[in-house]
Chain A
């Protein structure tokens, strides 16, 4: 079971290093790091303070028949405080978001109610009514800042409810997500455009026209920072801020994709479609592992321990991985929860480091206990639910110092720090260049020319201008055709050079 912990070790590209001294030095150093990773893994056995929760039934009883009331009877007082329903019928379906430590929650009702709650003390820190539709809420790097996607624009608020920024460039935003390592606020708006903005200095890093129409299904893969959009044609596309064309396009469902969720290890993705199927995908091979029939999951969420929550109507279904190994996954029913009939579930989200799932629904929000879903041992340097304000300030400074540039977002983040052929700033492959070229040509073709008056609006001139714009768009990409002939000539030259005797090699034609 130590195999996943040895991911810490650097994989050295042996053949790319010609410097023998450096190679041996690096090899010995990496061995040392491997040893330290192993000893760190051994700590798990003895020094971790808490153990994971579990739900074990005996005999013929099934785990999914266990109700929340049964759980409340068996569990201690502190945990049973985490089961509650907050009924707020006036303000519409609620979306919620937790901070990374699970301590604070922001709940945003459709009719404009924003509430910032401290979950440990069940204390309402601040609530404001913005008097506009709120479509999504997201925390920034800590509980001091949160963003709300409102009717026309997205806004950033401080902890005491003051509006700090109005993000006009993005237009009417449908979904907001924050990429923690890169300090990027990603959003998709009503016309299907993807925006990435660096919140440390406010600059817009990328605005990408996806070209696939309006969508409000957007999720971030925490393992590598790519954003996945689910479209109405059934495709899931993955994006990074540095390219205009998607990294991956997967045809997942025959109908529209309702929801996407990522496992924290980055290898699994769950998607649900309107045809009442839930599919689990392996992202390393982009293959479907499992299909679950029966219900249309409007919202999906993975917990830290790998439990999958699917919400449909007023029914929450929790699926657990019944196979113990990490290579094969078999999701089966673990627990259920059905709420009062009138409550339509809007968003499900597992609370980090707790065995709790937060449910945002049309009549407010609730929280129920799911034993075994949260990571029992937190690391104080990563996310500390018991943070003091001094620790929070220090952590903010360290997070800013470790902020990664947007170029580090890639499908396989382990390539960073390795030697060539993978460079840190990825040079786009030929296919990527072609895709980007096509996107640029489409954009040039679809721009609208200003209608001129006073006899200057001749159709011949219009077509000429349009052709010019397409040519300009093509010109920014170097000609691919030339390379073929040039490389052919070089290859011929090289073959001829190989036949020459050694002493005449320096007279061979060099192109």
Chain B
């Protein structure tokens, strides 16, 4: 006869010394845990509520400019600094952690329309309505900079005057060329006083320009004749060109998928395209009620931030039709430029009320050093919330955002307008021969044609 009974020796199951960690044993048998689905649901609900409690996205504002902020540039080598330029020609370099101006770059006579930094971080290029392009030498950040709050004034390293006012500028990745947008698209070299190459199509001015991060010779531009054009520097004319119904204010390439670009349009939506096949948008991101002024991708390539004329900043997922987050303040007026910080934690917005605002990309994120246990708990909360986020109670809490009244009302009006359009469309289709009325999907509807 063989008998064995359970006998646990205390030594095996408890720690030896008080400086050891406590011993933990696992048994994942579900019969030990009754009602675990319900407990998990309860945890998802609690996680959603906690996320809302800890959602404080606004970190701070940087004021100093005397006119509305028109453009910003980020230095890819130095996380703490951001360049911003205003409508009266004032260019500043800010230190984000102390939210103070490190140095100023005076010189422009009119509004500064474009600002960009070379990839190695040494040269700042600015262009404006006073028909000049100025190159500045960016001061190296030293240890003294953070403590000393003296404002330095830097002299431009080079100043090139040209025939027409400029609208935008962008620097090539890993190269010495930069492109300006004005009456035509012009390509410059740092050392030459006149452009080395220029592209022209039609008589309309080019509004924005952006170089591709993956292919240094490809750039995308948008013009005031409602077109988006992709140029290759090695060819003499445009590679691809589409004409849309409304003009595009800004373009951004996806840093992780460099063939995709997203265009911020005047009709309040952003259109994501595949650069190789531009006849149909890959995704339409609709949530803004007014023109989208600027767009920037996160370095992860999974999200982008947009700033709009309707006084709000929205963060969209790269493949989703609606925004994940909206940031707004009573004091923030028309947002003209946005940037996603290079560590994917912050979002900067420059607006008409002369302030630059710093926001957290994830509103309820705990900043600073997090212990590994805390990190695990945050990840668990995130995962359990995502598991149940489609169910009504959790969805209601997760989706809830406070909207400013004008935006809320405008969204309601847009919804009724779209509903009535759809109803009319359905009735037209019901009253006509089947197959005569064909609706184009939204991804194609806003594109008029592709021109070669």
Question: Which residues of A are in contact with B by a Cβ distance under 8 Å?
Answer: 4-5, 7-8, 10, 17, 19, 22, 26, 29, 33, 37, 40-41, 43-44, 47-58, 61, 66, 70-71, 74-76, 78-79, 120, 181, 222-225, 264-266, 353-355, 369, 371, 374-386, 388, 391, 401-405, 408, 413-414, 416-417, 419, 424, 502-503, 505-506
Contact = CB atoms under 8 A, between A and B. Distances in A.
B163 interface: no
Contacts of A385: 8, 13
Interface stretch (B215-223, B287-295, B382-390): B382-390
B42 A404 contact: yes
Contacts, number: 164
B37 A413 contact: yes
A417 B37 contact: yes
Contacts of A371: 3-5
Nearest to A47: B26
A5 B31 CA distance: 9
A377 B28 CA distance: 10
26 contacts: A4-B30, A8-B36, A10-B387, A29-B386, A41-B28, A43-B26, A43-B28, A57-B1, A58-B1, A78-B7, A78-B9, A79-B5, A225-B35, A369-B5, A371-B3, A375-B27, A375-B32, A379-B27, A402-B42, A405-B42, A408-B38, A413-B35, A414-B37, A417-B38, A424-B41, A424-B391
B393 interface: yes
B10 A386 contact: yes
* Residue of B3, B14, B22 with most partner-chain A CB within 10 A: B3
Nearest to A263: B31
Contact of B6 (A52, A383, A416): A52
Contacts of B32: 375, 378-379, 382-383
A299 to B, nearest CB: 22
Given A181-B39, A379-B26, 18 more contacts: A19-B390, A26-B390, A33-B387, A44-B27, A48-B27, A53-B4, A55-B1, A61-B1, A78-B7, A224-B35, A371-B4, A375-B29, A376-B6, A379-B33, A381-B24, A386-B13, A408-B38, A417-B388
Given A413-B37, A417-B41, A505-B430, A353 B3 contact: no
B373 interface: no
Contacts of A17: 390
Contact of B38 (A53, A66, A413): A413
A377 B31 contact: no
Interface size range on B against A: 35 or more
B6 A374 contact: yes
B1 A53 contact: no
Interface in B19-73: 22-43, 46
Contacts of B3: 53-56, 66, 71, 74-75, 371
A379 B28 CA distance: 8
Given A29-B386, A66-B1, A503-B431, A402 B30 contact: no
A252 B112 CA distance: 87
A76 B3 CA distance: 10
A44 to B, nearest CB: 8
Contacts of A384: 25
B35 A408 contact: yes
B114 to A, nearest CB: 37
B331 interface: no
A223 B27 contact: no
A48 B29 CA distance: 11
A58 B39 CA distance: 46
Interface string B273-289: 00000000000000000
B385 to A, nearest CB: 12
Interface string B238-278: 00000000000000000000000000000000000000000
A50 B2 contact: no
A181 B34 contact: yes
B427 interface: yes
Nearest to A61: B1
B41 to A, nearest CB: 5
B22 to A, nearest CB: 7
B452 interface: no
B1 A56 contact: yes
Nearest to B320: A21
A379 B36 CA distance: 14
Nearest to A7: B30
B38 A378 contact: no
B386 A5 contact: no
A47 B41 CA distance: 29
Contacts of A355: 5-6
B144 interface: no
B36 to A, nearest CB: 8
A489 B32 CA distance: 52
Contacts of B7: 75-76, 78-79
A266 B42 contact: no
* Residue of B7, B23, B386 with most partner-chain A CB within 10 A: B7
Contacts of A382: 27, 32-33
Contact of A40 (B24, B28, B387): B28
Nearest to B429: A502
Nearest to A264: B31
Contacts of A55: 1-3
Contacts of B393: 424
Contacts of B387: 10, 29, 33
